[in-house]
Amino acid sequence: MGIETSDDAGVFKLNKETALIQTLDFLTPVTDSPYEFGQIAAANSLSDVYAMGGKPLTAMNIVCFSPKNFKKEILEETLQGGIDKIHEAGAILMGGHSVDDQEFKYGLSVTGIVHPDKVITNKGAQVGDVLILTKPIGTGIIATAIKAKLADKKIRKNIFKIMSGLNKKASEIMLNFNISSCTDITGFGLGGHVLEMAKGAGKNIVLFSEKVPIIEKTKEFVTMGFLPGGAFSNRKFCNPYLNINPKVDKILIDIMFDPQTSGGLIFSLNKNHGEKCMNLMKDNGINASIVGKVISNDEHGSLTIQ
């Protein structure tokens, strides 16, 4: 499986028992703390392996850093944050590569494994499935407010916890069920990634905007005008495939397209197993919610927000 499916990672079958999952992601800093940034960037990179139903084994650093522009402690702390997350995931760091670059960037290339029959793609959703989301959304909006120095310590702490959280446990719980598709929520926002699932499956998917868990203060910041540029381009990109119920709060629609950093998993499964899966998530401290439903076949794929 390669780039043509716009899935989270590439999958290469080695033999009947094992397929390799390979992925690469890197980011510019999303926080002032290098150690926190390292953790967030690593959690974000590892997430694509979890989204494919796999288990990460090894990781390689990718670094763009200029020692002339920044103290080398910044890089050391970032890499330490990354290593700590890699170890939390049960994987190991194998090495890496750095280039001199004015703009600091850091991330990982991660290799994982999965049974070839148990690869979870982003295109298998079935009519009658519900969609479960495992993290609240709003990180792009909150990060914009942080840059404008409008977010207090409590908000920063909360968003760090969300972005640095591994999707490991959520993925393990999800794999106990018969999942038809999965992806992780990143730059295209919830709406963009769900539309990808809808297009991949040739289905119409409905998102229940009121049921989507949203990070505290997100709505307030949107009301104040803090919306990252990516939210506009995401919505514009999705527009030809969108049906929006006119009764939906405009602020909620904006939030649906907020680009996320290290967001949660979203997966589809038969509605009869939705509650059971949700309860298991809750028992394990995961703030999961049923946020949507696969309604009907649709040749081109479409997203309804209601």
Q: Are 167 and 261 in contact (CB under 8 A)?
A: no
What is the nearest approach in angstroms of Co ion to the Cβ of residue 188? 9
- Measure the CA dihedral 301/268/129/173, to 10°: 180
Nearer to Co ion, 97 or 236 (CB): 97
What is the nearest approach in angstroms of Co ion to the Cβ of residue 74? 21
Distance between CA 133 and CA 62 in Å, rounded? 29
Other CB atoms within 10 A of residue 151 CB? 20
What is the nearest approach in angstroms of Co ion to the Cβ of residue 81? 19
DSSP letter string over 140-165?
HHHHHHHHTT---HHHHHHHHHHHH-
The site string for Co ion over 168-187 (x = CB under 5 A, - otherwise) reads: ----------------x---
* CA-based torsion, 278, 5, 23, 121: positive or negative: positive
Using CB under 5 A as the binding criterion, the count of chain residues that bind Co ion stands at 5
Nearer to Co ion, 99 or 148 (CB): 99
Q: How much is the CA Rg of the chain, to the nearest whole Å?
A: 19
Per CB under 5 A, which region of 47-55, 251-259, 260-268, 273-281 contacts Co ion? 47-55
Subset of residues 200 to 219 that bind Co ion, contact rule: CB under 5 A: none
The site string for Co ion over 20-39 (x = CB under 5 A, - otherwise) reads: -----x--------------
Query: Among residues 97, 115, 157, 276, which is the contact residue for Co ion, using CB under 5 A?
Result: 97
Q: If we measure between CA atoms, which residue out of 87, 62, 61, 130 comes closest to residue 281?
A: 130
Q: Does 7 bind Co ion (CB under 5 A)?
A: no
Q: If we measure between CA atoms, which residue out of 115, 131, 278, 252 comes closest to residue 201?
A: 131
Distance between CA 197 and CA 202 in Å, rounded? 8
Per CB under 5 A, which region of 18-26, 66-74, 116-124, 225-233 contacts Co ion? 18-26
Q: Which residues contact 153 (CB under 8 A, 6 or more apart)?
A: none
What is the nearest approach in angstroms of Co ion to the Cβ of residue 120? 12
Nearer to Co ion, 261 or 298 (CB): 261
What is the nearest approach in angstroms of Co ion to the Cβ of residue 212? 18
> Hey, is 105 helix, strand or coil?
strand
Query: Among residues 7, 8, 36, 258, which is the contact residue for Co ion, using CB under 5 A?
Result: 8
Distance between CA 215 and CA 78 in Å, rounded? 25
What is the nearest approach in angstroms of Co ion to the Cβ of residue 184? 4
What is the nearest approach in angstroms of Co ion to the Cβ of residue 265? 9
Subset of residues 48 to 67 that bind Co ion, contact rule: CB under 5 A: 48
Q: Which residues bind Co ion (CB under 5 A)?
A: 8, 25, 48, 97, 184
